[in-house]
Amino acid sequence: MKKALIIYATRTQNTKGIAELIAEGLRMSGVEVDLLSATDRAVEDLNYDEYDAVILGSATYHGEMMQSMKTLLFRLEQVNLEGKVGGSFGSFGWSGEAPDRIFDTMANIYNMKMVSGPLRLKSPKLQGAIQMAHDYGKEIAKKMEE
Ligand SMILES: Cc1cc2nc3c(=O)[nH]c(=O)nc-3n(C[C@H](O)[C@H](O)[C@H](O)COP(=O)(O)O)c2cc1C
């Protein structure tokens, strides 16, 4: 069974909600998913070799991703993610820079096999959000079959 890892950075849980919906989309496609917060101690002990896809998300505050995601991105520079499927996501209010910054880092620094683009949603509760996040999970699952 293919396996995906989702790590999110959130303050008021919207980005966590999006992460859970993406996880549902992946599971609907038969992919096993591990879901963790970037602040979780378990993130330090992860074995990335276990995963076929890594999906990272952060909310945007003051035009930036959250500090816990910045720290994680520097740590991941030491891990070989080349060729793994990648995607990014995040909740935002108006500008939503974080998912784009994360996506570009995954593509340019880790040389991952990225999906079509980042998933930016204002809230996991808004109309259409559930479908969009499920579809994103399914797109990632499809890319894992290529
Ligand atoms: C102090 C503060 C600064 C924010 N700065 C931005 C910003 O620069 N750009 C943006 O798109 N949203 C901004 N937001 C909105 C948050 O991204 C939005 O509330 C989002 O849903 C939070 O996600 P979270 O629940 O995962 O923490 C800001 C919110 C607060 C409270």
- Ligand 1 centroid – CA 141 distance (Å): 29
- Ligand 1 centroid – CA 126 distance (Å): 16
pLDDT digits (tens, 9 = 90+) for 8-48: 999 999 999 999 999 999 999 999 999 999 999 999 999 99
Residue 24 has which token pair? 């549902």
pLDDT digits (tens, 9 = 90+) for 97-145: 999 999 999 999 999 999 999 999 999 899 899 999 999 999 999 999 9
- How big is the CA angle at 18 (ends 35 and 38), to the nearest 5 degrees? 40
- Ligand 1 centroid – CA 11 distance (Å): 9
Protein residues with CB under 6 Å of any ligand 1 atom: 10-15, 59-63, 91-96
Q: Which amino acid is at 137?
A: G
Q: Does domain 3-145 have CATH number 3.40.50.300?
A: no
Helices (H) and strands (E) in the chain, counts: 4, 8
Which pairing describes strands 53-58 and 119-121: parallel, antiparallel, or unpaired?
unpaired
- How big is the CA angle at 87 (ends 44 and 17), to the nearest 5 degrees? 75
